[in-house]
Structure 1
Amino acid sequence: MTPGAPARAEAGPARGLLTTARVPGHRRRAYWRDALSRTFGAVDMTVPEEVGSGTIRTAPLGRFQVVTVDGEPLRTRRTRRLVARGEDRRVVVKLLVRGAARLAQDGRDAAVRPGEVFVYDTARPVRLLLPQPFRTTSLVLPRHALALGEPDLRRITATPLRPDTALGALLATFLSRLADTADTLRPSSGELLARRAADLLTAVADERLGRLPADTPSGDAALLLRIRAYIVRHLADPGLTPAAVAAAHHISVRRLHTLFEAEGTTVGRWLLGRRLEASLRDLAHRRTTGLTIAAVAHRWGFTSAAHYSRVFRAAHGTSPSEWP
């Protein structure tokens, strides 16, 4: 949104409905540009001189957001200047439900058709053209929640994930269902499902990058999804070791380590990351809930407050008690 715009969206992207239906005609263009920029990050945007209608429905899922947009033709561009502002880095996973799209990032320029999923990273310049009235469903997630190495992420941006494989179709269906049910989910359930969508994207990326056989959701990708879901459900268990995870899935510990090594991480590192992420939510509300650092540590499976403080400082450069 350009500085000094005469209209501002009345609600932030965290929750609810933004619609031009409540805005006088002469203010709709500024309102719509502002609403989209606040939802997806600062962009240079071109919209029609007269905006007839536009709706953004946003539901928070923990640290994720699911967003459905119905709108008229527009063009958006995130420039190097806007990237340099240093906003939180986010990855947007978007399903084109209706209309057409063209996306450019990381040296690729791709046409997108309805039913296809595409990905872009707000940490680098990106251009998105929607030349027709459209509907999109998006999952907006922090970059660190996506279990993909940096080179792998760069290789799937601006590359439509078509629903002509089992995993690709599953991701599109999952995003659609997540948007339909997000308002009815409890916060913990919603975030867990959002994580599963992120895991599906990782599996689809692995398939596209040649690390998985195509059309085999019952193979390594599906097994890894089940293992990750199991780990997230049992984060509070301090006895959740690689041996326990392997036994629960009737595989060897070596096989378990191999699955995670193919992702560029380890079982222990992935588990620790999820525990730290979960603990951040409790720290953010510690003043209102009265939870102690020891209680937060115990709640998420850390063996002691001292152990929790050590790994937290290593990850975030500060102690849990000093966390904003």
Structure 2
Amino acid sequence: MAIIYQATEVPVHEREAVLRSAFDGQSWPTTVDLGNADSADHYMHAWEFGQTSIFQADLTDLRLGRSPKQIRVGPSEMLTIARQQNSVGKHDQFDDRRTVDTGQLMIVDMNEPYQFSYDGRGASQAFYLPLEQMNLPRTVVKEAAARLPASPLYSLFSSHINELTNIGDAIAGTDAASAVGESSIDLARTLIASAYDPDYARNMMAEVLLPRIRGYIRQHLCDPNLSADTIAHAHNISTRKLFRLCEDADFSLEQWIITNRLQGTHDELARPETRALSIAVIARRWGFGNPSYFARRFRTMYGLSPRAWRDLAATQAPPHV
């Protein structure tokens, strides 16, 4: 994390000038008005994730915007998706005036005039995304901005921004930060495209969500409560949407879970260090609560019973030294 501004580290009589300078350094030509600029608890932080970054400002009575002249002088190469961290923001762009409550998102096209403000103490998180990589028509961005909450990824992306500010320090400067940035661009593209038109975004949705869903399943294979409902809830989509995604990708959710669980039990039964555990215990560890069902599915997949496989694996194991 880069600390852009920390009021307690700046003499009171210098705070307003330093704060404005810090704000200018994180943005493009922008008009900024601040209430109580001398406050001791103002701060601004930033995190970089490859080609993307998040700028978080915690200030009082903020007013900011871009005029046509400022845009001509300093065009931006970034698109912003901002999340209101606390208080209620007011956003005005494309003749669309709206309030932005805590946790809600707004698209800010930095190359179109806009105004944003909040009264009293507030904070927002601005996610800067490179326009070239976003690769979306301006009309798509403009129309999606007016109906962003319609995207099934809306809640997921809000949580994503907040989570990145929590882990940003831990992954700063690592390969993981660049990978997170790339995946964030894909997620943001799909968020905007799906708000614009679900059919327009259908392929994007599958490309973005299915790898995340498969990863989530791998992490929770041993959870007996793993289900379509829990998977959908974890990704902030409906169960119906989850099944639709899987169907469009010719991907059987239930079969994929069972296959991976069976593979886990198959491998564990072959390990000498688990010989003291009963087959039923190992099956339960992989989410199979019914021993008969487990044995039937195991035989169907591998052509022999779990006990026969364990005995066979024992004869093939290298001798203990």
TM-score band, normalised by shorter chain = 0.5 to 0.7
Q: Does 1:182 align with 2:143?
A: no
Contact 1:94/1:119 (<8 A) preserved: yes
Mapping for residues 81-230 of structure 1, pairs under 5 Å: 81-157=69-145, 159=146, 161-162=148-149, 166-185=152-171, 186-212=173-199, 220-225=203-208
Corresponding letter in the other structure for 1:192 = A
CA distance in 2, matches of 1:17, 1:160: 32
Equivalent position of 1:23 in the other structure: 10
1:38 and 2:21 matched:
no
- Length-normalised TM-score, structure 2: 0.59
Q: Does the CA contact (< 8 Å) of 1:110 and 1:160 recur in 2?
A: no
Larger Rg: 2
Q: What is the distance in 1 between the residues matched to 2:79 and 2:93?
A: 13
Q: How many residues in Structure 1 have an aligned counterpart in Structure 2?
A: 214
Structure 2: gaps (5+ residues)? 213-247, 251-321
1:204-228: CA deviations, max 9, x gaps? 22222232499xxxx7443121589
Task: Give the C-alpha shift of residue 43 in structure 1.
Answer: 0.8
Tell me which residue corresponds to 2:314. Answer: none
Distance in 2 (alpha carbons) for counterparts of 1:143 and 1:98: 27
RMSD: 2.9
Three-state SS of the structure 2 residue aligned to 1:148 is coil
Contact 1:56 1:70 (8 Å CA) reproduced: yes
- The structure with the largest helix share of the pair is 2
Pair 1:228–1:44, CA change in 2 (3 A): farther
Task: Determine what percentage of the aligned residue pairs are the same residue.
Answer: 14
Secondary structure of the 1:37 match is helix
Displacement of 1:175 after TM fit?
0.8
State the Cα deviation string for residues 261-315 of structure 1 (Å, max 9, x = none): xxxxxxxxxxxxxxxxxxxxxxxxxxxxxxxxxxxxxxxxxxxxxxxxxxxxxxx
The 5 Å alignment of 1:214-293 reads 220-225=203-208
**Which whole-Å CA distance do the structure 2 matches of 1:132 and 1:195 have between them?**
35
After TM superposition, the structure 1 stretch with the greater mean CA deviation from structure 2, 118-127 or 181-190, is 181-190
In structure 1, stretches of 5+ residues that fail to align are 1-13, 230-249, 253-324
Q: Is the 8 A contact 1:74 1:131 kept in 2?
A: yes
Once residues 178 and 205 of structure 1 are traced to their aligned partners in structure 2, the CA distance between those partners, rounded to angstroms, is 19
Q: Distance in 2 between the 1:33 and 1:183 partners?
A: 25
- State the AA in 2 paired with 1:182: G
